[in-house]
């Protein structure tokens, strides 16, 4: 029986992929990846030049992305059959399928929607460096040390909840930024941490940009990350 192997690609720089992920890619006969219809897809772009020329590519194109709001029942109704269909196709593949995943597959990764639909003994996951680790390395400072508490939260949460959680942590990673930035910024200000916050766009990639958040104007990518470093809480 062929296996389905999801490999974490890490934060963006292909050199930060694991030795194992790299070797699996180099020997791949079928490579599958999610993408928005008509786009090359970020995961696919990251492995440009690393896939064997004769490997089959199976782009898994989302039937819907931002056209339907995430909370709308129609969103899940559209995606559930899409994931079920692809899980069945991957499970029946004639050779091992290497599924690409940005960052780490089990850390907010879309692969979980296939994983939950595949037989446990047929699937394997290779961890990767999460995007946030590439981003905090780009700031040139440790994110946590000593007895720091780290909170990772999606910027999609309501402002009051964001502010409460930011006030209550030593170090912070906020994900899913994009149009949620104004609310996140207001929450950081409310919690008195705006001056300590950094915005990292395209961490570890050629377009990498690291800036103090307070001075940022204008739109930022959804996959940016906002960080506040811990200060080494002592026991």
User: Judging by beta carbons within 10 Å of its beta carbon (0-12, 13-18, 19+), is residue 207 exposed, middle or buried?
Assistant: exposed
Please state, in angstroms and rounded to a whole number, the distance separating the CA atoms of residues 81 and 74: 12
| Interface segment toward a copy of itself; rule CB under 8 A; list 30-38, 54-62, 93-101, 141-149 | 141-149
Out of 38, 94, 120, 217, the residue judged to bind a copy of itself by CB under 8 A: 120
* Phi/psi at 153 (5° precision): -140, 150
Q: What is the CA radius of gyration of the chain?
A: 19
Binding mask 157-196 for a copy of itself (x = CB under 8 A): x-------x--xx------x--------------------
| Interface segment toward a copy of itself; rule CB under 8 A; list 4-12, 60-68, 80-88, 212-220 | 4-12
| CA quadruple 215, 167, 146, 150: dihedral, nearest 10 | -80
- List of residues contacting a copy of itself (CB under 8 A): 8, 10-11, 13-20, 22, 70-71, 104-109, 112, 115, 120, 125-130, 133-134, 136-137, 140-145, 147-154, 156-157, 165, 168-169, 176, 204, 234-235
């Amino acid at each position: 029986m062929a296996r389905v192997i999801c490999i974490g690609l890490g934060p963006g720089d292909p050199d930060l992929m694991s030795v194992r992920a790299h070797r699996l890619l180099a020997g791949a006969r079928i490579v599958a990846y999610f993408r928005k219809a008509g786009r090359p897809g970020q995961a696919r772009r990251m492995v440009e030049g690393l896939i064997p020329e004769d490997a089959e590519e199976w782009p898994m194109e989302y039937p819907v992305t931002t056209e339907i709001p995430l909370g709308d029942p129609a969103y899940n109704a559209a995606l559930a059959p899409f994931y079920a269909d692809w899980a069945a196709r991957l499970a029946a593949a004639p050779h091992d399928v290497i599924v690409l995943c940005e960052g780490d597959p089990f850390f907010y990764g879309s692969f979980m929607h296939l994983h939950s639909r595949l037989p446990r003994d047929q699937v394997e996951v290779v961890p990767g460096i999460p995007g946030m680790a590439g981003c905090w390395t780009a700031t040139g400072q440790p994110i946590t040390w000593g007895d720091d508490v780290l909170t990772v939260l999606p910027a999609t949460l309501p402002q009051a909840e964001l502010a409460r959680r930011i006030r209550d942590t030593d170090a912070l990673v906020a994900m899913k930024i994009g149009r949620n930035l104004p609310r996140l910024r207001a929450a950081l200000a409310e919690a008195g941490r705006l001056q300590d916050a950094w915005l990292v766009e395209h961490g570890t990639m050629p377009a990498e940009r690291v800036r103090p958040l307070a001075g940022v104007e204008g739109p930022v990518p959804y996959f940016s990350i906002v960080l506040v470093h811990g200060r080494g809480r002592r026991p």
